[in-house]
Amino acid sequence: METTTGAGAPTTAGPGAAERIAATALRPARTVVRWGVRHGLASVFLERSARSGDPVGRLLRNPAVRDHPYEVHEELRARGPLVGSSLGLVTTSHAVASEILRSDRFGVGWDRGAAPRLIRWALRFGDELDATGVAEPPSMLVVDPPDHTRFRRLVSRAFTPRATAAFEPVVQRTADALLDALEMRRGTVDLVETYAAQLPVLVIADLLGVPAARREDFLRWGAAAAATLDPGLPFRRYVAAERALRAMHAFLREHFERLRREPADDLVSRLVGLPDEEALTERELHATVMLLLGAGFETTVNLLGNGVVLLDTHRDQWEALAADPSGWDGAVEEVLRHDSPVQITGRTAKADGEVAGREVRAGTRVTVLLGAANRDPEVFDDPTRFDVARGNARDHVAFSAGIHYCVGAGLARLEGVVGLRTLAERFPGLRVSGRPVRRDLQTLRGFEHLPVALR
């Protein structure tokens, strides 16, 4: 019953009472089926392969490895640039990652029509807009052209270099205000909670025209929903993620209605008010805005947190940057390279072909370890060394490559530079003062808690 929406046009025909009751009664069964097809099968598989010692299984399953993935990356690298694993093929090579990410022989989508009948039934039965996350179609992250091109064109205007540069005063003002509040507190604080998470969520809220007052809700929902990027999520965490997704979709629905009535000068108002020939369906609109909102803060928080920890353990470099702030651009690139906020992505071969001298058949999944490619000794000298003055740090693939290259890369860099530079200016004596706690995630890499002493 979904219809394309123009400004002010009705969106979906509401279900009748009987349909609503049936949908509610079926909800728990649909949640179980959804989890089973999206995570349950992968979870059994990964568990088994982790037990058998498979490096990818261990990487995705073992919490100790999650905190220190780089040793497993080196184990894989020693086997070759593109190697078989429990999840299909996997690459740690910068050259192979770049080739695959840029190649039109690989895509992010997969042919659902070719799946076994039971899977197709499960996908259909479990399909529900309000339970759909950013790693599922029609999120642009996981759709191929021509849909990808259509979604990307609609949002990229808001992220041109010029549009991003015009955003610098907002980022600076936001950082200043957050640090003013910390100035009053001094002592020991959790820097993720008070700063690293707050800056990106406030900036993206401003850019998308969503109310900053809801930021604690966004952060809570985002933290739970981010787990859906990881394969093989346990049932309990999936249920928590789904609850967060439902709350987010409900918020977005109201927000779109408000903007249809009272459009403002922001990206989301433009998206809900597109002329009929360009208009997004309700589902596409939800997917696009949810991705922008989530990607806008769930990743940059990790850049800021990882940066503070790396510079705390390389104190001389923090002090050099405090003395000469012109080095911050390079420092942010080196943080992105050395401890990449998005560690993993993947592609599926659309046609038979050869990569790195290896036959890759259509339908083969290739896991691309971005964090490992960014430590490839073929590209980066002495790659485990953290060096903010490294000449080619910017050659990293932390923002991916090819048609899915991060739309928000410029904004993330701006937030990284302004966020870290301003922190160092205001608190040059800042030190990590307790044990930082990593987020319990594999695809995203960052800290959940980061105790610091403000000085």
The reply on whether position 98 binds ligand HEM by CB under 6 A is no
* Least Cβ distance, residue 393 to ligand HEM (angstroms): 14
Please pick, from the candidates 406, 418, 420, 450, the single residue that binds ligand HEM as defined by CB under 6 A.
Answer: 406
Instruction: Name the one range near ligand HEM by CB under 6 A: 183-191, 291-299, 305-313, 429-437.
Output: 291-299
- To ligand HEM, the closest distance from the beta carbon of 81 in angstroms equals 19
- Report the residue number, 40 or 396, with the smaller CB distance to ligand HEM: 396
Q: Is 96 in the site for ligand HEM (CB under 6 A)?
A: no
292 is a site residue for ligand HEM (CB under 6 A) = yes
Q: Minimum distance from CB of 84 to ligand HEM (Å)? A: 21
In 3D space, the residue among 371, 373, 365 whose CA is nearest the CA of residue 346 turns out to be 365
- Minimum CB distance to ligand HEM smaller for 52 or for 156: 156
Footprint of ligand HEM on 190-219 (CB under 6 A): 204
Indicate the residue among 97 and 272 with the shorter CB distance to ligand HEM: 97
Site string for ligand HEM, 139-178 (x = CB under 6 A): -xx----------x--------------------------
Please identify, using beta-carbon distances, which residue of 196 and 321 lies nearer to ligand HEM.
196
Beta pairing, strands 88-91 & 365-369: parallel
Q: Is 442 in the site for ligand HEM (CB under 6 A)?
A: no
Question: Per CB under 6 A, which region of 2-10, 64-72, 112-120, 295-303 contacts ligand HEM?
Answer: 295-303
Tell me the C-alpha to C-alpha distance, in Å, between residue 103 and each of 99, 300, 401: 6, 27, 10
In whole angstroms, how close is the CB of 154 to ligand HEM at the nearest point? 11
The single residue among 122, 289, 290, 398 that binds ligand HEM, judged by CB under 6 A, is: 398
Q: Is 307 in the site for ligand HEM (CB under 6 A)?
A: no
Q: Is 303 in the site for ligand HEM (CB under 6 A)?
A: yes
Binding residues for ligand HEM, total number by CB under 6 A: 23
Stretch that binds ligand HEM, among 16-24, 78-86, 167-175, 338-346 (CB under 6 A): 338-346
Q: Does 372 bind ligand HEM (CB under 6 A)?
A: no
Report yes or no: 366 and 82 within 8 Å, Cβ to Cβ. Answer: yes
Residues with Cβ within 8 Å of 4's Cβ and at least 6 positions away in sequence, in order, are 276, 279, 280, 281
Positions that interact with ligand HEM (CB under 6 A):
140-141, 152, 204, 291-292, 295-296, 299-300, 303, 341-342, 345, 398-400, 404, 406-408, 411-412
